[in-house]
Amino acid sequence: MKMESVECVISRKRIESRVIELGRQITDDYAGAELLVVGILNGAFIFMADLVRHIQLPCMVDFVRVSSYGPETSSSGKIKFIKDIELPVVGKDVLFVEDIVDTGLTLFKLMEVFQARNAKSVRTCVLIDKRERREHSVCVDYTGFVVSAGFLVGYGLDCAEQYRQLPEVFRLIKS
Ligand code: IMP
Ligand code: MG
């Protein structure tokens, strides 16, 4: 595996305890709900797997995969479904699980689509809220960590499809 220079920004210990807290909070907030947890592939796969094991409620799990196209970082950007969910959405309390929110485009558009599909509620849970490039105002209901800047990898996050399997979150250092 090609290793660029990296520095650890979120340790395994901090991730583990924050995921437990988020799971507890979601468990409290969604008591009695028809919870449908929707992971956004590929980046959310590790966070999602850990998080759902701390949600002590009946819930369903599904995944979407989307890609941004057009001018990716402009407000006219669009998303395209590579994979849509397979479970019905109408009347469900949808909770999107995402690795990182950057410009906000992905979550903003997904929320629009799922609201239009008549989900009962649509909320978001992100491991990392990175605010330096935000262009779409999205409500992040459950945030693991706020990171001001930089390109992050590990715990699901990639750079050119590398690094996803690292157990902690690192910042890439340009050399
Ligand atoms: P957004 O639509 O601009 O909010 O972009 C979100 C997506 O961009 C995330 O799901 C990631 O796939 C990717 N992304 C944004 N910042 C990073 C990063 O620092 N590391 C890895 N992926 C990132
Ligand atoms: Mg992603």
133 token code pair: 């490039």
If you take atom 12 of ligand 1, which residue's CA is the nearest one?
A: 43
Q: 42 preceded by cis ω (within 30°)? A: yes
Could you identify the residue written with the tokens 């996803």?
164
Nearest residue to 110 via CA among 94, 91, 86: 94
pLDDT at 1: 52
Catalytic machinery residues: 102
What single string gives the DSSP state of each residue in 63-107?
Answer: EEEEEEESSTTSTT-EEEEEE---S--TT-EEEEEEEEESSSHHH
Q: What is the pTM of this model?
A: 0.94
Q: Which tens digit of pLDDT belongs to each residue from 154-167?
A: 999 999 999 999 99
pLDDT at 68: 80
Amino acid at 88: P
Query: How much is the pLDDT for 72?
Result: 46
Q: What is the 124 CA–ligand 2 centroid distance (Å)?
A: 13
- Tell me the three state secondary structure of residue 35: strand
Measured distance CA(74)–CA(59) in Å, rounded: 35
Residue 32 Cα to ligand 1 middle (Å): 32
Q: Residue 26 — pLDDT band, cuts 50, 70, 90?
A: very high
Distance from C-alpha of 93 to C-alpha of 55, rounded to nearest angstrom: 14
Is pLDDT of 91 > 90? yes
For the CA of 98, the nearest atom of ligand 1: 10
Q: Which of 91, 87, 102, 95 is nearest to 138 (CA)?
A: 102
Residue to substitute in 100, 132, 165, 172 for testing ligand 1 pocket (most ligand atoms within 8 angstroms of CB) = 100
Residue range 136-153: mean pLDDT, rounded: 95
Distance (Å, whole) CA 90 – CA 87: 10
Q: For ligand 1, is residue 124 a contact (CB within 6 Å)?
A: no
Residue 73 has pLDDT above 50, yes or no: no
For Cα atoms 81, 83, 85, give the angle at the middle one, nearest 5 degrees.
105
Mean pLDDT of 81-103: 97
Distance (Å) from CA 43 to ligand 2 centroid:
4
Helix (H) or strand (E) segment spanning residue 26: helix 12-29
Q: Output the residue whose Cα is nearest ligand 1's atom 20.
A: 152
Q: Which of 132, 157, 163 is nearest to 146 (CA)?
A: 132
For the chain, what is the mean pLDDT?
93
Does the pLDDT at position 153 exceed 70? yes
- For 37-70, the pLDDT digits (tens) are 999 999 999 999 999 999 999 999 999 999 986 5
pLDDT for the residue numbered 149:
87
Nearest-angstrom CA–CA distance, 144 and 129: 8
Any ligand 1 atom below 6 A from CB of 129 = no
Q: How confident is the model at residue 2 (pLDDT cuts 50, 70, 90)?
A: low
For residue 88, what are the CA distances in angstroms to 42, 119, 145? 21, 9, 31
